[in-house]
A and B are shown apart, each in its own frame.
Chain A
Amino acid sequence: MPLPSKIIEAPLRLLGEYKVDCVIVGGIAAAIHGSSLLTNDLDVCYSRDPVNLKQLADALQSVHARLRNAPEGLPFILDSETLKRGLNFTFTTDIGDIDLLGEVRGVGNYEDVIAGSVTADLFGYRFAVIDIGKLIVAKRAAGRPKDLIALPELEAIQEAQAIANATKQRAD
């Protein structure tokens, strides 16, 4: 089996290329905010607008996405109709793992997640990234050890951002 290469960058480029409306959440969002914790899959909360579901399905088909941890031979048609019928999906693809979340626990759906999000320019594309406050809420709501262990560092980054913003406002 070939070694993985750019397993975060490549899926991000894919979503950018297909103009998928989504917000980066989870561990990659934490890394973008500055967290030093390691993660190896990309979680995004996606818009369930029909046009976006088509874009998403086309993007995933292009990299032969298949359900992760699904029994071998399980029939699965990856199209916008399937995405519409489901909500959260975990995919493995030729270029890395991509998890699609229709809702983020503790925060809500795409509209709730994108509200107040920040943007990051990555590999030639502009992405929405969940606000650090909402990321903390989501991690706390998820409640798994791997989520809870991320909280102290994220809270420190959040406080540093607040200090930076307050100083900037005073200067303005």
Chain B
Amino acid sequence: MRADIEDYFLNPPDGSAAARATEFGIDLTLTLGNLRLTPEQRIRKLDDFIEGAAKLKASVRVIGPTNATAKQDH
């Protein structure tokens, strides 16, 4: 990654699109992290995240309020 591009994202110049994105709430360090990867690595990262999120969702168990209250009494 070239130094001027790194600097553009880490220290966005006033009036730049990066400054507007930061103002909007975008964490440009995440964008910079992606740009350090190859396009194929970016897709793999996305797939890994989707898979991880699906596993997490599948593992969710709802704890009923009765159980939660009983534990708090101890």
Residues of A within 8 A of B (CB): 3-9, 12, 28, 31-32, 34-36, 38-40, 120-123, 129, 152-153, 155-160, 163-164, 167
Contacts and interface: CB of A to CB of B under 8 A. Distances in A.
Contact of A156 (B2, B9, B33, B49): B9
B31 A8 contact: no
A159 B18 contact: yes
Contacts of B51: 3-7
Interface residues of B, number: 33
Given A3-B55, A12-B43, A164-B5, A34 B34 contact: yes
B56 to A, nearest CB: 10
A104 to B, nearest CB: 20
A70 to B, nearest CB: 23
Contacts of A164: 2, 4-5
